[in-house]
A and B are shown apart, each in its own frame.
Chain A
Amino acid sequence: MKYVFLSIILCTPLVMVAQDFDKNLASAKSSYSSGKLEDARFAMEQMLRDLDIAIGKEIMKILPTKLGALNYNAKDDNITGGSGSITGLFVQRSFGAVPKRGSIDIINNSPMISSITSILSMPLIGGMMRNENQKIVKVLGYKSLLNKNVDSETGKTNYELQVPMNNTLLTLKMDDTSEAEITQAGNSLPLQKIAQLAQ
């Protein structure tokens, strides 16, 4: 009984998204048929947002619940549908607590992608922009940018791994960690599946 109740609670948001999508689809169809183009367009924008949220939920399902030794913060899981804003889908999961935290951000159509890809694919530009705290690494076959940042107040070393995949950018952040630990965490992510869902 307990599991049935739990599964109902977990599935409720997806059902709501489905209802919204159906409602917006019906609105888009009827508005378009009656020549109300702007209303049809607005309904389609809402549909894109609904779809982004549905995709975000699918991605959340395959994200790890542990990052190294850090547990995820279930209540902080965040999905944003990007229609009408500058980026597309945004998925965020956080891990641990201060002073040792980690996070995974997935952004679709991120404006950052082109600059990261330039660094990764053009050695000349990469050479000019790169610094001693930046390194190109491969994570599950994806060329990625690893940034090291030493906190001047705490003296702890934080790392950030940026993995561009088609039009999706995955950013893995870990505080007070080592290069080996963040690379290992990156290698444990289902990158190919995430790229497939988010594209």
Chain B
Amino acid sequence: MKSSRIFLFGIALIVATASPAQFLKKLQQKAEQKLEKKVDKAVDKELGINQNQPTQTQLGGQNNPGGSSSGNSGGNNPSNNSGGGLISTPPNVKQNLSDAEASYKKNSYSEARYAVQQAMLGVELEIGNQILKSLPETISSLPKDVSSDQVTSTGSGWAGLTIQRKYQDKKDKQLTITIANNAMWMSAVNAYMTNGGYAQQTGGEQNWKQTKVKGNRAIIEFDKSSGYKLSVPIGQSSLIVYEGINFASEQEMIKAAETVDIDGIKKMLGEQ
């Protein structure tokens, strides 16, 4: 008898304590639902979506003006499936120099600067293409991949010129050569080379060291996931970076780097 009373008291206590908690939970859920609805309405209003409009799935193909939903996946906005892209034409250097001269004479300095930047862009692209031509057809039996050739220039002088060529066997071996002129990271590399604080150490895992490529001081690095990276600063403001994936050894990497005519590139970039 006594135990049943205790049991009943316990039940009453649980109900008494649980009810306010459940009530609060319910209240919280209701508030969340209301808030969610309000936010949805506000977003729909901002996006200009009509609340009473049927959804895309309800519309089906017959109400779609195009009769097809494939080109219309983003609501009622058509997606582009034609057009010839942009024509990549290097700026006409001579014309831009003449424009710069004319603008300068009219004291339109801003216009003159734009024209000079365009002329410089044209010249840098020509330099880049000459350098690409000078690179070997194959390196370490990897053929060049012309489709990935890149010459990048901003024409502003300070951001510089970047030239990239890839050599790959379409399997798992690849060599990427990047040549950068007036690159902002040149100072970092030079500091790396000259500062005693970066001196090579013994012991531990050696992931980088100083080396030489055709008489030019260089840094070679190795990373298990990205492979070998060889950075060769040339002259005052240029840098050649070789990135080799699945090269067997440091020697193979350096041998590959030596097939490039570094002195010729130096000359083309006006480096001493």
Secondary structure at the B interface, as helix, strand, loop or mixed, is helix
B120 surroundings in chain A (CB, below 8 A): 41, 44-45, 48
Let me know if B109 and A44 touch, CB within 8 A: no
Let me know if A54 and B116 touch, CB within 8 A: no
Let me know if A87 and B127 touch, CB within 8 A: no
Identify the stretch in A31-39, A148-156, A170-178 within 8 Å (CB) of chain B at 4 or more residues. A31-39
1/0 per residue, CB under 8 A from B, across A56-98: the answer is 0010000000000000000000000011111110000000000
Inter-chain CB contacts under 8 Å: number: 77
Interface residues on chain A, number (Cβ under 8 Å): 32
A112 surroundings in chain B (CB, below 8 A): none
Let me know if B158 and A87 touch, CB within 8 A: yes
Q: How large is the interface on B (under 10, 10 to 19, 20 to 34, 35 or more residues)?
A: 20 to 34
Let me know if A51 and B104 touch, CB within 8 A: yes
Q: Does A52 contact B (CB under 8 A)?
A: yes
Least Cβ distance of A187 to chain B in Å? 24
Q: Does A124 contact B (CB under 8 A)?
A: no
Let me know if B109 and A37 touch, CB within 8 A: no
Which residue of chain A has its CB nearest to the CB of B122? A32
Choice from B110, B119, B157, B182 contacting A55 with Cβ under 8 Å: B110
Q: How far is the CA of A58 from the CA of B108 in the complex (A)?
A: 11
Given contacts A51-B104, A55-B110, contact A85 B158 (CB under 8 A): yes
Interface residues of B (CB under 8 A from A): 93-94, 97, 100-101, 104, 109-110, 112-113, 116-117, 119-120, 123-124, 126-127, 130, 156-158, 182, 184, 268-270
Interface residues of A (CB under 8 A from B): 21, 25, 28-29, 32, 37-42, 44-45, 47-48, 51-52, 54-55, 58, 82-88, 109, 196-199
Show 15 A/B contacts (Cβ-Cβ < 8 Å), sorted by A.
A25-B101, A28-B97, A37-B126, A37-B268, A38-B268, A41-B120, A41-B123, A44-B123, A45-B120, A51-B104, A51-B109, A55-B109, A55-B110, A85-B158, A196-B110
